[in-house]
Amino acid sequence: MSNPSQKMNILLIDDNPHLVSVFANLLRIKGFSVTTETTFKEGLKHLNNETYDTVFVDAPLDDYDENHILTLFQKNQVFQKTFVFLFSAIDFDKIELNKWKKHGLYSFLKKPVKHNVIIKALDDLRMKKNLIASEITSQPIIKNTIMLMHN
């Protein structure tokens, strides 16, 4: 995942071109870098060739249901590289969603999703990334400080 102080790079995969356009424009206005695809196959190509901080993927999509999408994400190690938001108008089984969260799914958003919910989710994610980055960079300082205190 990229440096949290940089613009977040987002991939949006949804088979509704109107929704993709509106969602992408909103995110761009809010300062995000956005790549869009309307097919899962093309979206997966992007994930294999580019680095994204966050992926929003609709389910079902083309001939892929949510289990197929998430299984391919797991197989291609997408969960290790990026934060994945699954969103859909379908009510998914909570047990199934919890299983996928254990595998790396970051969040599920039920459509229709209000723009303020999306922006808040991304702001929360950005804060989490900043916290993780600051913990990582402070580890050597803390370790060196402890070593100096013991010497």
Domain boundaries, the chain: 9-150
For residue 60, whether the previous peptide bond is cis, meaning omega lies within 30 degrees of 0, is yes
Both structure tokens of 19: 């929704």
pLDDT along the chain (151 residues), means of 10: 64 95 94 95 94 94 90 91 92 90 92 90 87 67 49 47
Both structure tokens of 51: 């680095």
Q: pTM for this structure? A: 0.82
| pLDDT reported for residue 138 | 61
**Is the CATH number of domain 9-150 3.40.50.2300?**
yes
For residue 17, whether the previous peptide bond is cis, meaning omega lies within 30 degrees of 0, is no
| pLDDT reported for residue 131 | 77
Half-sphere exposure of 111 (CA within 13 A, CB side): 15
Whose CA is closest to 72, among 44, 109, 39? 44
DSSP alpha helix (H) spans, the chain: 17-29, 40-49, 66-75, 78-81, 94-103, 115-150
